[in-house]
Amino acid sequence: MGSTTDKMKGKANEMVGKVKQASDKPSTRAEGRMQERKGEAQQVKGKVKENLKDRIDKA
């Protein structure tokens, strides 16, 4: 996956996770927290890929 794809999927996971956290069910809230964290990690991964690509292009 490219950096943009990682960042977009990450943002989507964050949003879905936040929606799930509004649930009345504790298990769904916990799932939402995990999904939000996954989204945050995906966005970081995308930013790292982008940064590495920029550095390679400059070399």
- For the stretch 17-43, pLDDT in tens is 999 999 999 999 999 999 999 999 999
Q: What is the distance between the alpha carbons of residues 33 and 27, in angstroms, rounded to a whole number?
A: 10
Average pLDDT for the chain: 96
Q: What is the pLDDT of residue 59?
A: 84
Q: Give the span between the Cα atoms of 16 and 2, in whole angstroms.
A: 21
Helix (H, G, I), strand (E, B) or coil at 54: helix
Three-class SS state of 24: coil
Please count the residues of the chain.
59
pLDDT at 42: 97
The answer to whether 42 and 6 are in contact (CB under 8 A) is: yes
CA–CA gap between residue 56 and residue 59 (Å, rounded): 5
pTM of the entire structure? 0.87
